[in-house]
A and B are shown apart, each in its own frame.
Chain A
Amino acid sequence: MPRSNLITSENDIEIGLDLAGDEEEEEEEVSTLQEEQRRERQRGRRRDGDRERKKRKNDRSRETSTAGEGEEEEEKRERGRRRREKSDRETEGRERNTEGNGRGKSGKTEKTRKNIKNEKTRKMEAEEEEEAGERKTKKKKREERTKEREREEEEEKPKLTEKKKKKKKKKKKKVETSSEQESSEEEENQEEDKEEEKEVRPESLTPEELEKLKEAVDEKKKLIQGLRGKPWPMKKKLLTLRESQEFVEKYEGALGKGKGRKLYAYKVMMTKKWMKFQRDFENFKTACIPWEMKIKEIESHFGSSVASYFLFLRWMYGINMILFGLTFGLVMVPEALMGRPYGSIPRKTVPRAEETSAMDFAVLWDFGGYAQYSVLFYGYYNNQRAIGWLKFRMPLSYFLVGVGTVAYSYMVVIRTMARNANESGVGDDNSFNFSWKMFTSWDYLIGNTETADNKFASITTSFKEAILEEQESRKDDNIHLTRFLRVLANFLVLCCLAGSGYLIYFVVRRSQKFALDGLENHTWWERNEVNMVMSLLGMFCPMLFDVISTLENYHPRVALQWQLGRIFALFLGNLYTFIIALMDEINLKREEEKIVKFNITMWEASLHNATESENSTAATVTIIQPADVPRGPCWETMVGQEFVRLIISDTMTTYITLLIGDFLRAVLVRFLNYCWCWDLEAGFPSYSEFDVSGNVLGLIFNQGMIWMGAFYAPCLPALNVLRLHVSMYLQCWAVMCCNVPQERVFKASGSNNFYMAMLLVILFLSTLPAIYTIVTIPPSFDCGPFSGKKRMFDVIQETLESDFPAWFGKVFSYASNPGLVLPFILLMVLAIYYLQSTSKSYKEANVELKKKLQTQNEENKKKNKRAALKAQMDLEEARKAAIKTPEHQKNNNASVKVPEDGDEQHRGSQRQNNCRNGRNLPPPRHQEQPPPNTRAPVSRSYHYGNQGPPGYLPGHPRHSEPRMCRAPNLQRH
């Protein structure tokens, strides 16, 4: 709210304050006659006081004497304290004595003169007189206290100048708070009191009061934190925030004692700075989220389910960015910068036989030639233990990055799953079917007419379906036929799966034969057969499944899950056939490697002989070019290449299907429609819908391949990042320009964890073969960072031995001893078992409680019905009675009405009346204050905030307060 408005000029405020005070008085008018009389008396005094005050105010700006200020401040304190509840009065009374003593009666009158809120004080004054008696009894105590106090004041004199500043600030704030008085609740009043209390110098506070102060500060902090969740209007939020922030700012430093205080203040300041930094950082982070607008646009056109795919894509992109950062920063760049340059050793050089074609585009496109002998693939890396001036442990880094990639992925996926599970809560039961449909089915994100129409239609159908289900809950006429059809469908699907698996196996074997013959003799199709067949299968089988699933007659949601499961099985089958075929190839290569190894020893021996015959060893070493050295087949690079090719072809097919299936179709439908015999747009081909589940699955499998191949081809994450980046733009464009919103919109949130679970399964299944190859197959002897070792993980052993002190290696070897590892695993299994059983029992308890709740509800309903019936009877009786004695009619009705409605309803109806009154009447309605009894405390304390009167919905504008300050504004319009 505009603060400057409030503090324009002091005179203005004065008026505003008087007004506010008046209104408050009206609101809280509970005074007895007696009190009014007393007030009358005081008003006389006041009038003189007012005049004097105006004079004083002019002086005030010039006023520099600390005494004057101090008094003023004290009087504020006084006022606040007076407002406090009686119970508190005891404790504060003591405190007040310390100051109150020095003043005397004359001081009191002066005080009143300066009072800003005259009306208020008037009332308080009355109370004060009552208190005077109380005070007398404590006079002795007081006197003791004053002595103490005087001593303290002496110490404090140097600090007074500081305090003055504070006080000025305080004055301003005071003005604000009082102008808003009507809207502030009891709690705030209390806060104010505390505030004033805190104005007391910290030294003079007893430990209890300090404790209180601390509590108050904590309370404020909590208030600030939870402010966002409070159902208040923004104006009030801002105000409360500002107030409590100022409060905390002012008094936080006062906490703590003596020397500790400075430290405390410093700490507080630092935490504040830190908070601010965090907030800024948070803002920065949200500003950095890419594609937010794009996704938002799609969301508004296609609803949340299509957008969920893009959100998933973005999430995937984030993960791949991190994987890419790891491999790029810790493996590729160090090798490229610090490792030996290209051409220095055989594994980093293109062999002589391939040199002529190494730069051909066809070869490079296949990731052969120069691409094969580069940092992109495993084979290029040297087994040198430390490279460069940094002594970077290349092989170790390579191994750890490989492991870290997998570990990180597991962590992220599982964490996301857990979070999703938390968010979705326990919303699995079907007990609120209709209510949820009613209140949560509209997607507030939709901002497109067509989508909105579709949404309306889908909501209508879903309601109709639900109604049908409700009406004929179990009425399946031909269960045998359905069963038969379902079995048939599953059989067909199984046939499809088996067929596709065999096809891939066959193709891979054939391609191996081609590879043995030499790739140059074959056509393009024969060379790329494997990838093409896999992509084509991935494209057409889902359609086939779709057709088959119409046989089954499942509910669409169930059908969708079946469909997803089948596609998943298909992809998985294909992938695993591919891997098995690859394993065959690896074995072949290893056979080849043995022969090559033997040949190399022969070759070296002959070389040696030759050099011996020549008798000049040094000369021959320089003569042999690294390109001429015979070398092994390096199966790791081969695996990496296969995966890279697979990814590339997969990407290409995705993009091409996108262009043909979506774009071309859309163009044809759009333009051929002018000259066609039927309506293409509404009829057969129409526009395509965005296939969320298929796309998500494609993404998941793509990721699986990345995880599988990343160890052997460090470039894979980079490629994937590129692919996802392009996909994001291309698919966004395709969706916006050539797809139509789905006719049956499924909710995406429910299946979120379903996709995540799939991702986890894929992650597990894809790391399995990778780990298997790493652990069981010995690395090639002449390429890659682990060459020369028996197994790849030996690099850990080596590091432990040479880079760590001896005792560490010993400890490690003890720790990895089976005698220790096995019990540890056993322990973990036991822990898992225990946790699982406890969670199961919790679940059961949950179900039990739910049941109990339901039975209770039913009982309640019955009881209420009975009560209602009884009330009706009573009412009728009353009516009869009323007819008999018409003069008592009114009383009777009133008494009967209460049991009829029940307690709560009664309150509700009352409220309703108030509410209605408040709403329907024109703005100036000061008179229509709700009667004070609506504020009465109620047993049910929901988290309505700590202020709302019970029964009012939190955040419901209470007609009493905000309108007051609005009234003048309305007139202005």
Chain B
Amino acid sequence: MDYTNDPDCKLPLALIVNMPELKENPFRNRIVESFSEDGMGNLSFNEFVDMFSVLSEMAPRELKAIYAFKIYDFNVDNYLCKEDLEKTLNKLTKEELTPEEVELVCEKTIEEADLDGDNKLSYADFENMITRAPDFLSTFHIRI
């Protein structure tokens, strides 16, 4: 790709996902997708920079929270509903939990974090939960 002559070229998802920084991450596709403008995971240079700026150590907690929410929001409906949580959990554990266990964990998670009682996590709920997490800042960054 010739960036100098054609600055608007985009990297396809498959290429970015295979970066050493991302290739072991269970949420790699989601990460890339949530930073791409078209939602398909094709990144322009600016979006790429954007991604690593958010994932850098220097990014403020609020910003990270916002993008973490987007990453975990698999179906892009601005809520973390049960289905999102199930997907997250299955990616985290490589589907080694039984469906009942998954069910239980998702229920517990929603019960813990849901403040307005709509059985799904809005961004406000998520933010409230994540700002108190002791490990969020130390784990939600990538060094390049």
Contacts and interface: CB of A to CB of B under 8 A. Distances in A.
Do the two shown chains form a genuine complex with each other? Answer: yes
Interface of A: 1-2, 5, 228-231, 233-235, 238, 296, 299-300, 304, 423-429, 431-436, 438-449, 451-452, 456, 459-460, 463-464, 466-467, 470, 747-750, 857, 860-865, 902, 904-905, 908, 911-912, 915-916, 919, 923, 940, 942-943, 951-957, 962-963, 966, 969, 972-973
Given A463-B93, A916-B77, A966-B37, 8 more contacts: A234-B46, A441-B135, A444-B141, A448-B24, A459-B93, A902-B118, A943-B62, A955-B70
Nearest to B78: A953
A460 B24 CA distance: 16
A911 B46 contact: no
Contacts of A439: 68, 72, 88, 126, 129-130, 133, 136
Contacts of B27: 442
Contact of A954 (B66, B88, B94, B114): B66
A229 B60 contact: yes
Interface string B42-74: 000011011001010011101100111110100
A444 B116 contact: no
Contact of A434 (B10, B70, B112, B139): B112
**Nearest 5 pairs of A and B residues by beta carbon:** A861-B117, A427-B134, A452-B24, A864-B117, A234-B46
Given A460-B94, A464-B101, A957-B37, A911 B117 contact: no
A228 B133 CA distance: 22
Contacts of B68: 439
A230 to B, nearest CB: 8
A951 B78 contact: yes
A459 B66 contact: no
A973 B2 CA distance: 12
Nearest to A911: B78
B117 A863 contact: yes
A464 B98 CA distance: 10
B26 to A, nearest CB: 7
B136 A432 contact: no
Residue in B53, B66, B89, B140 with the greatest tally of chain A CB atoms within 10 Å: B66
29 contacts: A229-B59, A231-B66, A233-B46, A233-B47, A296-B143, A432-B112, A432-B113, A434-B105, A434-B108, A434-B109, A435-B109, A438-B85, A438-B88, A438-B92, A438-B109, A439-B136, A442-B25, A451-B24, A456-B26, A456-B96, A463-B89, A464-B97, A750-B134, A904-B116, A908-B122, A915-B77, A955-B67, A957-B39, A969-B8
A444 B123 CA distance: 21
Contacts of A424: 134
B134 A442 contact: no
Contact of B115 (A860, A942, A973): A860
B55 A444 contact: yes
A962 B37 contact: yes
A470 B104 contact: yes
A919 B63 CA distance: 23
Contacts of B76: 915-916, 919
B99 interface: no
A908 B79 contact: yes
A953 B60 contact: no
A234 B142 contact: no
A437 to B, nearest CB: 8
A617 B94 CA distance: 94
Given A296-B143, A444-B140, A433 B131 contact: no
B132 A447 contact: no
A799 to B, nearest CB: 46
A747 B8 CA distance: 41
Contacts of A300: 20-21
B8 to A, nearest CB: 5
B38 to A, nearest CB: 7
A463 B101 contact: yes
A422 to B, nearest CB: 12
Nearest to B53: A234
B124 interface: yes
A442 B26 contact: yes
Contacts, number: 214
B137 interface: yes
Contact of A467 (B8, B9, B104, B140): B104
B92 A459 contact: yes
A155 B143 CA distance: 58
A448 B26 CA distance: 12
Nearest to A303: B139
Contacts of A449: 24
A749 B135 contact: yes
B40 to A, nearest CB: 9
A908 B112 contact: no
Contacts of A969: 8
A695 to B, nearest CB: 19
B136 A440 contact: yes
A473 to B, nearest CB: 12
A442 B129 contact: no
Given A231-B63, A452-B24, A904-B116, A436 B135 contact: yes
A742 to B, nearest CB: 16
Given A229-B63, A956-B70, A445 B129 contact: no
Contacts of A233: 37, 46-47, 50
B78 A425 contact: no
A955 B79 CA distance: 15
B137 A447 contact: no
B124 to A, nearest CB: 7
A863 B118 CA distance: 10
A228 B37 contact: no
A446 B22 CA distance: 8
Nearest to B135: A440
A439 B139 CA distance: 10
A271 to B, nearest CB: 22
Contacts of A443: 139
Contacts of B142: 444-445
A84 B96 CA distance: 60
Nearest to B96: A460
Nearest to A471: B104
Given A234-B50, A445-B139, A448-B24, A229 B62 contact: yes
A750 B133 CA distance: 11
B26 A435 contact: no
A857 B62 contact: no
A26 to B, nearest CB: 21
A426 B132 contact: yes
B78 A423 contact: no
B78 A5 contact: no
Contacts of B8: 966, 969, 972
B117 A857 contact: yes
A433 B131 CA distance: 14
A919 B67 CA distance: 18
B13 to A, nearest CB: 15
A668 B49 CA distance: 46
Contacts of B135: 436, 440-441, 747, 749-750
A912 B133 CA distance: 28
Nearest to B144: A296
A231 B20 CA distance: 25
A295 to B, nearest CB: 9
Given A439-B72, A463-B93, A447 B24 contact: yes
A231 B68 CA distance: 12
A61 B4 CA distance: 30
B112 A749 contact: no
B129 to A, nearest CB: 5
A235 B49 CA distance: 10
Contacts of B101: 463-464, 467
Contact of A1 (B46, B96, B109): B46
A300 B19 CA distance: 13
Contacts of A857: 115-117
Nearest to B137: A423
Contacts of B58: 228
Contacts of B26: 442, 456
A459 to B, nearest CB: 5
Contacts of B89: 438, 463
